[in-house]
Amino acid sequence: DAKTTQPPSMDCAEGRAANLPCNHSTISGNEYVYWYRQIHSQGPQYIIHGLKNNETNEMASLIITEDRKSSTLILPHATLRDTAVYYCIVRVRNYGGSQGNLIFGKGTKLSVKP
Amino acid sequence: DAGITQSPRHKVTETGTPVTLRCHQTENHRYMYWYRQDPGHGLRLIHYSYGVKDTDKGEVSDGYSVSRSKTEDFLLTLESATSSQTSVYFCATRPSFEVTGMQGEQFFGPGTRLTVL
């Protein structure tokens, strides 16, 4: 699986958009970009994933650059409850066995401040 | 959230004693995983299962064994606990892509905090 690079920490004001970057310059054509988050002391939670098109769901938007070497997770209106560690992970699409495993880096610690 | 429970949620034990952690799911997901999380390391995969009685090693499997005798339960055993195994352990499940058409999101349990003295 491709490696990802994320800033170790970011701050965001409550109610503003939080934009979390991720670099994955060695991503392969069959690898998806996944985002998970982990709120303090809880298990990680899936947020969103994408291949090459921008994606949006009820939690967030994912913007992937045209060359697919980087992406940005956008939380449009951050709340205090969004304070968490956010993990960007790339993984192949077709999986059975070990191809389905997630490799977590250290992520970005997002602090949403009042 | 998928119905994933872990037991016990907290455990303190002594070096050299055997410990078994249980992960139970009610979603009939095919794949199950055990991770450990330590400061400075993030989550690391210990073992995983891709079906009943089908398991394989992850990144940090030394000192751990697993068993899966039925779909809903995945057991993690520390045969002889050591202080280096003090950690928070997370179980996760994943449905089959073929069954649900999902892209394989993993669902995590609440974690078990294990302290080995």
Minimum distance, in Å, between the CA of residue B17 and any CA atom of chain A = 26
| A43 closest CB neighbour out of B48, B56, B110 | B110
Q: How confident is the model at residue A30 (pLDDT cuts 50, 70, 90)?
A: confident
Q: Is the pLDDT of residue A101 over 90?
A: no
Label residues B61-74 b or e (16+ Cβ within 10 Å = b). Answer: beebebebeebbeb
- How far apart, in Å, are the Cα atoms of A13 and each of A16, A36, A60, A114, B18? 6, 21, 16, 6, 47
A104/B44 touch (CB, cutoff 8 Å), yes or no: yes
For A83-97, write each residue's pLDDT tens digit.
999 999 988 765 555
The pLDDT of A75-79, averaged and rounded, is 96
Q: Distance between CA A31 and CA A40 in Å, rounded?
A: 28
Interface check for B39 against chain A (CB to CB < 8 A): the answer is: no
- A2 against B70, higher pLDDT: B70
| A43 closest CB neighbour out of B58, B94, B108 | B108
Which residues have CB under 8 Å from A65's CB, separation 6+? Answer: A71
Q: Is the pLDDT of residue A63 over 60?
A: yes
Q: Is the pLDDT of residue A99 over 60?
A: no
H or E stretch at B31: strand B31-38
- A99 against B84, higher pLDDT: B84
For B9-50, write each residue's pLDDT tens digit.
999 999 999 999 999 999 999 899 999 999 877 899 999 998
Give the pLDDT score at A44.
93
B45/A49 touch (CB, cutoff 8 Å), yes or no: no
Interface check for B99 against chain A (CB to CB < 8 A): the answer is: no
Q: How confident is the model at residue A98 (pLDDT cuts 50, 70, 90)?
A: low
Query: Residues of A numbered 9-68 whose beta carbons fall under 8 angstroms of chain B's beta carbons: which are they?
Result: 32, 34, 36, 41-46, 49
Give the pLDDT score at A105.
87
Give the pLDDT score at A41.
83
| B48 closest CB neighbour out of A41, A44, A101 | A101
The pLDDT of B61-70, averaged and rounded, is 96
Minimum distance, in Å, between the CA of residue A106 and any CA atom of chain B = 5
Q: Which long-range contacts (CB under 8 A, 24 or more apart) does B45-48 make?
A: B45/A101, B45/A102, B45/A103, B46/B76, B46/B89, B47/B76, B48/A98, B48/A100, B48/A101
Give the pLDDT score at B96.
76
